[in-house]
Amino acid sequence: MSKNPAPENFLNLFAEELNKGNLSYLLSQYETDACFVSQSGEII
């Protein structure tokens, strides 16, 4: 599967890469200034 999937394939590829622990791929799918917020409200 391509690393630039069609929209209908994106969630499957994202889950596959998540399960592999491929953080580089996962982060490449977000804007450069994006951030994550934990359940406690901490910005990661």
- Say how many CA atoms lie within 13 Å of 28 toward its Cβ: 11
Tracing tokens 């069609």 back to the chain, one arrives at 6
What whole-number distance in Å separates Cα of residue 31 and Cα of residue 29? 7
pLDDT for position 39? 92
Residuewise pLDDT in 10s, the chain (44 residues):
456 778 899 999 999 999 999 999 888 888 888 888 999 999 98
pTM attached to this predicted model: 0.60
Q: Name the residue range of residue 13's domain.
A: 1-44
Quick one: tokens of 34?
């994006």
Strand partners, 37: 43
> How many structural domains does the chain have?
1
